[in-house]
Structure 1
Amino acid sequence: MGPSTENLKKNILIVLVGPTAVGKTELSIRLAQHLQTVIISADSRQFYREMNIGTAKPTPAEMQGVTHYFIDSHAITQEYNAGAYEQDVLALLDTLFEEHRCVILTGGSGLYVRAITDGMDEMPEVPAHIREELNQQKQVHGLAPLLQQLQQLDPVYYNQVDRANSQRVIRALEVSLATGQPYSAFRTKQPVDRPFKILKIGLTRERAELYHRIDTRVDHMLAAGLLQEVEQLKPYQGHNALQTVGYQEIFSYLNGEYDWEEAIRLLKRNSRRYAKRQLTWFTKNNDYTWFHPQAWDAILAYIEQELNG
C-alpha cells in the first residue's frame, strides 16, 4: 500500500481553541512569530469593526506585527454567517498556503471553527424578517417561549442544543419556520475532506484560574469603556452578533431592566457560563489535544512533530 492521502497533504492548519480568557490570543501570536506565519480569527464577533472592547479584540500593539485575517473585516450592518465564512477562509487558505507551510486558525466560536474543520451543512436562505421577529420576541418575552416553540417544531435538535445560547435557538427556529422542516433535517454532519492537514489544539486552565482571568478581563473591559461602546451600538441592538455576553447585559442595563452593579454581576457570571459551554463544545469533539497555554515547549514539540512527520 502507498502512503495515505493524509500523509501527502503538505500544508497544515493549526487550529487553536479554548474558552474565553484562556490565553488564545497571546499564544497564537507567539506561535505565529516562531513559525513565521499568519493568523485567521475564528471569533465571530471580532469580524465587526464596531465591536472592539466587548470582544477582547487584539490591538495592533498586541498583534506585534503578525498579520491577522477576519478581524475588522466587516461592518456591523453586514450580515455574515458560518457558511460564508467557510467559503471565504478556504479561498484565503489557497493563497496563504502558497507562502506558508502552516497557518494558525484561532478563536472560541465553535460553529465557525467547525465550518473550517468539518464543513457546513447546506442551509436554506432565511428571509431577514423572520430572524428580526424572533429577536424581537426574545427581547420582549425572553427565551422560554422560543424554546417551547423549538421543542414542538424540532424535538431532535431541542434535545441537542445549548438552551442558554439564544443565537443557536433562534437559528434553528428561523430555518424550521422558513422551510416547514425541522432544522435537524438539514444537519447531516458529514465531515468533508480538506486538501490540508488539520492539527487541533485545545487550551485549558484550572477552573478557579480561568474564572479569575474572566473576572479580571471584565474589569478591564469596563475600565476601557465598554459602556460607551455598547451605547454607540444601541441602533443595532437586534443584530445577531450583539445577542451575546458582554453586550446583552449592558443593553439590559441601558433599557432599565436592572442597575449597574447587577449588570456587572451578570456580565461576569454569564462570561463564566459561556466559558463552560465553550469547553463542553470543544471537549465533545474528542480529537483535540489539550494543553495549558503556558506549556510552550510541549505545544511546540507537538506541532513540530506534525511538521516534520
Structure 2
Amino acid sequence: MTSTHTKHLIAIVGPTAIGKTALSIELAETLETEIISVDARQFYRDMVIGTAQPTQAEMRGIPHHFLSFLPIQANYTAGQFAQEALQTLDKLFMHQDVVIATGGSGLYLKALCEGLAEIPTLPSSLRTNLNSSLAAKGLPYLTQLLAEKDPTYYRTVDLNNPQRVIRALEVCLGTGIPYSTLRKQQTQATRKFNIITIGLIQPKALLHKRINLRVDAMMEQGLLEEVEKLYPYKGTNALQTLGYKELFNYMEGQSSLAEAIDQIKINTKKYAKKQMTWFKKTKNISWFTPHDLSNLQAHIASIIDQSGSSIRSTVVLDNDCCTK
C-alpha cells in the first residue's frame, strides 16, 4: 500500500573526502532506505578508483542509484540527471517515506531539488567554434575569455572542466547575457517531496589531511593502472577531471609520478574549496561536522516526526562511520 505521509529527500552534501558516502550509507541502513548518487564523476563505470566509488562491501547491501552506470564516452547533463532522478524518486517513494541523495556535484543537486534555468536554444556553430578554440588554443584561452564575459561565474566554476567553461561561454556569446545572470533568473520548480539538506564541514587542515590520505590510498588501490586503461579515451568529457588529467600528464612525460601525485592533492584541495563556496551560497543547508552525529540525528528526526512519516525516526549512528 502506498503511504500518504510526507515524503523526504535527505541530501548529504559537502566537499570531497569529508565523509558523505559513509554517513549516507549509515543513514540509509538505519532508515531502511536507498541512496541516489549525486556525484557526476561516479556516474561512469570505468572510473571506480579515481572517483572513490563505494565498494560492494562498503555499500552494505544498500541499493545505490546512478552509480557506475554510464560508459566513459557518454555526455550526461545535469538536466538529464534531474529528469531521470525524479522518475527514480517517484518509484522509490511508492514504498519509502525517505530517500537519501549524496554527492558533491552542486549543479546536479540543484537540478534535482530546484530545477535549472531555461536557456534559449543556441546555434550549434557556437559550441563547434568553442571546441575548435579549445583544441587550437587550449583551455586557458577559454577561461580567460570567460573571465571577461562572466567574471561572476568564472569565480565559482571548476576552471579545469572544459565542458562547464564551454557551456557558459556558449550562453554568454549566444545571448549577450552572462551565464550567471540567466541561472539566477530561474523559477524554482515545485517538488512533491520535502528536502532536508545536511552539509558536512570540518577545519581546513583536517580536510586537507584527509584529501592527502585519500589520494595516497587511491594510488595504492591501483589508480595509475586504472588511468592507463582509460588513456585511449583521454579526450572524453568524463576524463577531464581530478586524478586522471594529472596522471595522463605523467604518462606523456610532462611530470614525474611524484609530481603528478602532488598535483592531484593540490587540485583536489582547490576543488574542495570551490565546492564549499558553492554550498555556502545554497539556502536551507544545516551544517554539521561529520562526527556531530547526535545533533545531526536530532535535526533529521525532528523534521520527519513533525511530518508524521511512519519511519524509524530515532537515528543511531556509529561514531566511526564517516571516513569516506
- Which stretch of structure 1 is more off in the superposition, 298-307 or 128-137? 128-137
Identify the residue that residue 255 of structure 2 maps to in structure 1.
258
Distance 2:236 2:123 in 1: 14
Q: Which residue of 1 aligns with 2:145?
A: 149
Q: Which amino acid aligns with 1:166?
A: N
TM-score, normalised via structure 2 length: 0.85
Match in the other structure for 1:40: 36
Give the Å deviation of 1:174: 3.5
Which residue of 273, 293, 302 corresponds with 1:305?
Answer: 302
Aligned pairs (5 A) from 1:283-302: 283-302=280-299
C-alpha spacing 1:124/1:67, structure 2 compared with 1 (3 Å): farther
1:54 paired residue among 35, 47, 50? 50
- Name segments (4+ residues, structure 1) moved above 6 Å: 125-130
* Deviation (angstroms), 1:97: 0.6
Distance 1:80 1:146, change over 3 A: same
Distance 1:256 1:138 in 2: 22
Higher mean C-alpha displacement, 56-65 vs 142-151:
142-151
Distance 1:96 1:306, change over 3 A: same
2:221 equivalent to 1:224: yes
Q: 1:79 offset after TM fit, Å?
A: 1.7
**Unpaired stretches in structure 1, ≥5 consecutive residues:** 1-7
Q: Deviations over 1:203-247 (max 9, x none)?
A: 111111111111000001001111111111112212222111111
Any stretches of 5+ residues in structure 2 without a counterpart? Answer: 307-324
Structure 2 equivalent of residue 28 of structure 1? 24
Task: Tell me the equivalent position of 1:172.
Answer: 168
Letter in 2 for 1:48: Y
**Partners of 2:143 and 2:154 within 8 A in 1:** no
Give the distance between the partners of 1:298 and 1:280, measured in 2 at CA: 24
1:98-122 CA deviation, whole Å, 9 max, x = no partner?
A: 1110100000011111111111223
Residue type at the aligned position of 1:89: A
Q: Alpha carbons of 1:201 and 1:158: their partners in 2 closer, same or farther (altered >3 Å)?
A: closer
By how many angstroms is 1:173 displaced? 2.0
1:120-170 CA-to-partner distances (Å, cap 9, x unmatched) read 223456788865775675466443311232345x33655554363434322
Please give the alpha-carbon distance, in whole angstroms, between the structure 2 residues aligned to 1:64 and 1:84.
Answer: 28
CA contact (8 A) 2:201 2:288 kept: yes
Return the alpha-carbon distance in structure 1 between the equivalents of residues 19 and 110 of structure 2: 20
Q: Secondary structure at the match of 1:93?
A: helix
Native 8 Å contact 2:44 2:72 kept in 1: yes
What is the distance in 2 between the residues matched to 1:163 and 1:106?
A: 20
Check conservation: 1:9, 1:196, Cα contact below 8 A.
no
Superposed, which structure 2 residues align to 1:140-219 within 5 Å? 141-152=137-148, 154-155=149-150, 157-158=152-153, 161-162=156-157, 164-167=159-162, 168-176=164-172, 179=174, 181-182=176-177, 184=179, 186-187=182-183, 188-219=185-216
Q: 2:276 aligns with which of 272, 276, 279?
A: 279
- Deviations, residues 161-209 of structure 1 (Å, cap 9, x unaligned): 43634343222123445x4544526422322121110001001111111
Q: Distance in 2 between matches of 1:115 and 1:232?
A: 32
**Residue aligning to 1:109:** 105
Distance 1:214 1:156 in 2: 29
Letter paired with 1:245: L
The answer to whether the 8 Å contact 2:227/2:247 transfers is: yes
**2:94 equivalent to 1:98:** yes
CA–CA separation in structure 1 for the residues paired with 2:237 and 2:122: 14
> How far is the alpha carbon of 1:289 from its aligned partner?
0.5
Equivalent residue in structure 2 for 1:240, among 231, 237, 240 = 237
TM-score, scaled to structure 1:
0.89
Tell me how far apart the structure 1 counterparts of residues 112 and 101 of structure 2 sit (CA, whole Å).
9
1:64 aligned to 2:53? no
Q: How many residue pairs are counted as aligned between the two chains? A: 300
Q: Give me the whole-angstrom Cα distance separating, in 2, the residues matched to 1:151 and 1:207.
A: 27
Distance 1:79 1:204, change over 3 A: same
Equivalent-residue separation in structure 1 for 2:122 and 2:247 (angstroms): 29
CA separation in 2, counterparts of 1:123 and 1:249?
A: 33
Q: 1:174 to 1:9 in 2, by over 3 A?
A: farther
Q: Per-residue CA shift, 1:237-269, capped at 9, x if unaligned?
A: 122221111111111111222111110111111
**Alignment correspondent of 1:5:** none
2:84 maps to 88
Using the TM superposition, give the Cα deviation of residue 68 of structure 1 relative to its aligned residue in structure 2, in angstroms.
0.3
Question: Do 2:40 and 2:108's aligned partners in 1 also have CA atoms closer than 8 Å?
Answer: yes
Q: Distance in 2 between matches of 1:17 and 1:42?
A: 9
